[in-house]
A and B are shown apart, each in its own frame.
Chain A
Amino acid sequence: METIKKLIRKQSLEKLYSTLSASRKVYAPVVAADKRVEYKYNPAYAEVTFEHIQSTLSVKNVVFPKVENLMYYTNNKVDSTITDIDLTKIPEVVLWGSHPCDNSAYDVLKSIFCWDIKDEFFAKRLEKLVVIGLACHQSDAYCFCTSVGLTPNSTKGSDILLSKTKSGDYIAEILTEKGNAIATASPDLFENANNEEAVITEVKQTFYHEQVTEKLKTAFEHPFWVANSLRCIGCGACAYVCPTCACFDIQDEAKGKEGRRYRSWDSCGFGLFTLHTSGHNPREVQSQRWRQRIMHKFSYMPDRNKSLGCVGCGRCSRGCPVDMNISEQLQALQNI
């Protein structure tokens, strides 16, 4: 549909929030006791923050939870019964105030989960999701969305995108039918926009992702990988905070005759990730795992999924215990 531009007054925003949370689950950012920003289901409006640069964890868990049950089973020696998950129980969720980088990650995840066979769990959750995004009016040194083809006010993935104006009101760009349904349900909250101007932060472009992708085609054996991953300690923090990392592990957990099969997040940074039963490990050392991470996002995905596996949110660099700064590394890669 064609984008409709409206204006929401500061005071109307609270009404919109309470209208939405009355009928659905709203997942919104709040400031935790230790000053980190985290998303919570249905927090009180007073708690919700509009001033966050980035939450520690991404919001991919609304479509790809850290643990997801796939089926339940009972085993009676002779026969087993399998109970499927009732996907109709997946509730409608409104994602509130997530930034354009996070919102554009859903397309990336879709290119993985719906590449050939449609992942029903993911697809259903995405179908039930409405995204009310918030354009960034502030950023920090870790942000690099402009280097991966996005901007602080990209509309990709949002159903409605809010942008703060100087006066503290919000411009609402209504982008999809889902967004329009929300807007038309509360017509008195959406006023006509005149020529209010949004405050948008500036994010400096630090590298050209096309060039990085091109470089990676011949960089597999380059000494760059060892030299630049010496300090990597091999934890999974980068993958777990990443909005586009989609690797998972499938486990059966049984208690007596009953059990369930679930999938949970996994990370290519772990040595165990590629360990074969034979004992052989094709990615034996950390430099190979670090190379895999970069290669996957910037070479294999553009090649196979026609999408870039990075949205420039910078969480991996903020969360890294040893400052493996990804935009710095990609800049260096571009110039090798």
Chain B
Amino acid sequence: MADFEPKVVAFVCNWCTYAGADLTGTSRIKYATNVKIIRFPCTGRIDFMLLLKSFANGADGIIISGCHPNDCHYTSGNFHAKRRWIMFKELMDFMGIDMKRITFSWVSAAEGARWAEVVNSTVARVRELGPYVSYQKMVNTHIEEEVTNE
């Protein structure tokens, strides 16, 4: 486990968090390189299925981040997202999928330092949790058992 480097995917909105992450860079703040950022027009556009796809494709942790409430470029995208996340979180808790692996956050375009902190704390937490074995094992077993009868 010592050499485990977590893979973390970040789904961020174009207008706040992505710009915030840009600022982190231009401010020359160092942060964990484990994160792969995917830019969306708005948090309201981030389908929960993308999170499941990430886990299925080997992510160990996920960050979802957008504009602070009332700051949405499209006025209400993040409010809609918030309701969806609440339901999603409750469902995940009920099904036993570890929500400690997912960070939901609001990071504005001015919060470069905060973005570094969000990423660092998420990576540290996921590092401690280790690879998401229970989910990835399920993915990789496919249906081999049925196919080869082994």
Q: Does B149 lie within 8 Å of A25, measured CB to CB? A: yes
The binding surface of chain B is classed by DSSP as loop
Residue on B nearest A61 in the bound complex, by CB: B146
**Other-chain contact of A69, B57, B147, B149 (Cβ < 8 Å):** B147
Q: Looking at chain B, what size class is its interface with the partner chain?
A: under 10
Q: Does A89 lie within 8 Å of B146, measured CB to CB? A: no
**Other-chain contact of A67, B57, B146, B149, B150 (Cβ < 8 Å):** B146
Q: Chain A nearest CB: distance from B53 CB in Å?
A: 11
Q: Chain A nearest CB: distance from B22 CB in Å?
A: 28
- Given known A-B contacts A66-B143, A67-B143, A91 and B149 have beta carbons under 8 A apart: yes
Q: Does A91 lie within 8 Å of B57, measured CB to CB? A: no
Q: Is A171 an interface residue (CB 8 A)?
A: no
* In the complex, number of A-B residue pairs with CB atoms less than 8 Å apart: 22
B27-69 interface with A by 8 A CB criterion: 57
Q: Is A93 an interface residue (CB 8 A)?
A: yes
Q: Chain B nearest CB: distance from A333 CB in Å?
A: 36
A124-144 interface with B by 8 A CB criterion: none
Chain A residue contacts of B57, Cβ below 8 A: 255
Q: Chain B nearest CB: distance from A261 CB in Å?
A: 12
Q: Is A236 an interface residue (CB 8 A)?
A: no
Q: Chain A nearest CB: distance from B103 CB in Å?
A: 25
**A255–B58 alpha-carbon span in the complex (Å):** 11
Q: Does B147 lie within 8 Å of A91, measured CB to CB? A: no
**Other-chain contact of A66, B146, B149, B150 (Cβ < 8 Å):** B146
Residue on B nearest A89 in the bound complex, by CB: B148
Q: Is A210 an interface residue (CB 8 A)?
A: no
Q: Does A68 lie within 8 Å of B149, measured CB to CB? A: no
Chain B residue contacts of A41, Cβ below 8 A: 149
**A65–B143 alpha-carbon span in the complex (Å):** 10
Q: Chain A nearest CB: distance from B59 CB in Å?
A: 13
Q: What string of 1s and 0s marks CB contacts (under 8 Å) between A63-105 and chain B?
A: 0011111000000000000000000011101000000000000
Chain A residue contacts of B150, Cβ below 8 A: 91
| Residue among B143, B146, B148, B149 having the largest count of chain A Cβ atoms under 10 Å | B149
Interchain residue pairs with CB less than 8 A apart (7): A41-B149, A66-B146, A67-B143, A67-B147, A69-B147, A91-B148, A91-B150
Other CB < 8 Å A-B pairs besides A67-B142, A255-B57, 8 of them? A65-B147, A66-B146, A67-B146, A67-B147, A69-B147, A90-B148, A91-B148, A91-B149
